[in-house]
Homo-oligomer: A and B are copies of this chain.
Amino acid sequence: MWVDGFASDSLPVTDRGLNYGDGLFETIRVEHGGAPLLERHLSRLRTGCARLALPLPGPQALRRELSAACDGMEEGILKLVLTRGSGGRGYAPPEAPSCRRVISTHPLPDYPRSRYRDGVSVRLCTTPLGTHPATAGLKHLGRLDQVLASMEPPAGTAEGLMCDASGQVIEGIRSNLFLVRGGQLLTPDLAGSGVAGVMRGLVLDLAPSLDLEPVIEPVSTDDLVRCDEMFLSSSIFGIWPVREVRALTGFETVGPATRRLMSAVAALGVKQWAP
**A interface residues (Cβ-Cβ under 8 A, vs B):** 1, 3, 8-22, 25, 27, 52-53, 77, 79, 81, 83-84, 88-93, 102, 104, 106, 109, 127-128, 130-135, 140-151, 165, 173-174, 192-193
Chain B residues with CB under 8 A of A150: 90-93
Chain B residues with CB under 8 A of A18: 11, 15, 17-18, 81, 83, 102, 141
Provide the bound-state CA to CA distance between A137 and B193, in Å: 19
Chain B residues with CB under 8 A of A132: 128, 130-132, 144-145
Q: Is A21 a contact partner of B79 (Cβ separation < 8 A)? A: no
Query: Closest approach, in angstroms, between the C-beta of A137 and any C-beta of chain B?
Result: 13
What are the 10 A-B residue pairs with the smallest beta carbon separation, nearest first? Answer: A142-B142, A130-B132, A92-B150, A21-B142, A21-B21, A10-B10, A20-B143, A91-B150, A18-B18, A91-B146
Number of copies: 2
Query: Closest approach, in angstroms, between the C-beta of A11 and any C-beta of chain B?
Result: 5
Q: Is B104 a contact partner of A20 (Cβ separation < 8 A)? A: no
Closest chain B residue, CB of each to CB of A10 = B10
Query: Closest approach, in angstroms, between the C-beta of A41 and any C-beta of chain B?
Result: 15
Query: Closest approach, in angstroms, between the C-beta of A88 and any C-beta of chain B?
Result: 7
Q: Is B1 a contact partner of A53 (Cβ separation < 8 A)? A: no
Provide the bound-state CA to CA distance between A90 and B143, in Å: 11
Provide the bound-state CA to CA distance between A196 and B148, in Å: 20
Q: Is B19 a contact partner of A25 (Cβ separation < 8 A)? A: yes
Query: Closest approach, in angstroms, between the C-beta of A79 and any C-beta of chain B?
Result: 6
Q: Which of A8, A9, A79, A165 is packed against the most chain B CB atoms within 10 Å? A: A165
Chain B residues with CB under 8 A of A165: 131, 133, 192
